[in-house]
Amino acid sequence: MSFSEEQIQSIAPNASAFSAGKKLSGNSKWESFGKSDRVIWGAIRGSGKNPHLTQIDLNDIAFKCSCPSRQFPCKHAIALMLLYGSQEQNFSVQEEPEWVSAWMDSRKARQEKAAEAPKKTKAKSAAKDTVAKRLEQVQAGAAELELWLKDLVRMGLLELSFKSAKDFKKVAARMVDAKAPGLAFWVRELGQLNYKDGSVWQDESLKLISKLFLLIQAIKNYDQYDSQWQYTIRTLAGWSQSSKELLADANAEVVDDHWLVVGQLEETNDDIVTQRNWLIGKRSNRKALVLNFSTRFSSFESIILPGSYIEGQLAFFPSVQPQRAVIKTQTNAADKFDADFTFTENWLEAHHKKTELIKENPWSNDHLFILNNSKLILKNDTWFMADHDHYLMPLMKGYDIDKCLKSLAICGTASHPMAVVIRDGKAIPLGIFQNNQYTIL
């Protein structure tokens, strides 16, 4: 596979690292470089006596460099990717040097070991006891929150606008103490509404309270649901989803396909960066969400390039609507492939599909579609995504205007299929299908 400058920029730790890498991406900066079917490598002159040795796994994107930089990827890895992206024809196929093959072989050995089903460290009965004990705490917290909500409704929703941020934080903290951070999330959402805008907050608060009350009832009646719903309820209540346990589960749903990474979105909350990666399978048309996490002190667990194509297996977490997944195996990464995805014809069809999904799971959000013959337009100083019937959906607040301008530069006034996520009635455009290629916005 090759790399576009935008893809490389998306995984650079910061703008200065990308800029430094770009300065080193000229052919003359490198003493040597080469490639095999699985890796590219190069030696670049540094300030020391010996050159820095840099290598990049092409199939399961990873980097290694002999430089002392703490940034990941470092400027040398960024430079090598940029060089390969612009001058792939100059990278001759060679036998891997020992320092390259040793690293790649060690990575392969670790992946094979991780793929082996590990011995279970807990008996099933012990795991059930753990769930039961926590569920008891969560149900107690849910009962307390139910009383708080009923008092709110009894006094009238107008009381919400007189509550201080401290009031909501106090209730949210009680839910965290009850091992129910998922309930705390909904309470914090209530506290973050704009209560100065009377035309909006009343409707939004009613929606939040309704969903929260419904979740409380589901928690209270947990034992009446099947295993898929029980897992979904636990996740909504705040149980963490373990990737290691999922990969070790022989009964987990695994889909083997060629996956297109149609979009990537990063959100920061309390110094934790959550990276959302949306994928669509070529053969299965299956949609998946792969999450990545990082902090100020640690990089993302894996590298996923937006707009790239991954050949491999995704393992899906159990749910009434399985969407979140983990990359189980990744055997190859390609530049492009022909795929006949299922398009949604217009916003009306998207609305019907979204309605059916919400009927099945009232708490579902972030619905991914490929909307046929669509484009971004500016109307009355507001950006919209328009379908071919000229129906409009406003873009999510804070959507990058540079992406809007990029769509105009690519398409002009023409319409093309676009990947889009609908969140809370707003559109998040991800990319454009044009001339058998997919371009990330």
Alpha carbon distance 103, 402 (integer Å): 39
pLDDT at 315 over 60: yes
pLDDT at 14 over 90: no
Q: pLDDT tens digits for 214-237? A: 999 999 999 999 999 999 999 999
**What does the pLDDT read at residue 126?**
54
Burial class (CB in 10 A: 0-12, 13-18, 19+), 359: exposed
Size (the chain), residues = 441
**What does the pLDDT read at residue 336?**
60
**What does the pLDDT read at residue 121?**
47
pTM for the whole structure: 0.83
Residue 395 per-residue DSSP state: B
Alpha carbon distance 66, 149 (integer Å): 57
Crossing angle for the helix pair 227-237 and 181-191, nearest 10 degrees? 50
Q: pLDDT tens digits for 413-436? A: 899 999 999 998 999 999 999 888
Alpha carbon distance 73, 210 (integer Å): 45
Alpha carbon distance 254, 328 (integer Å): 8
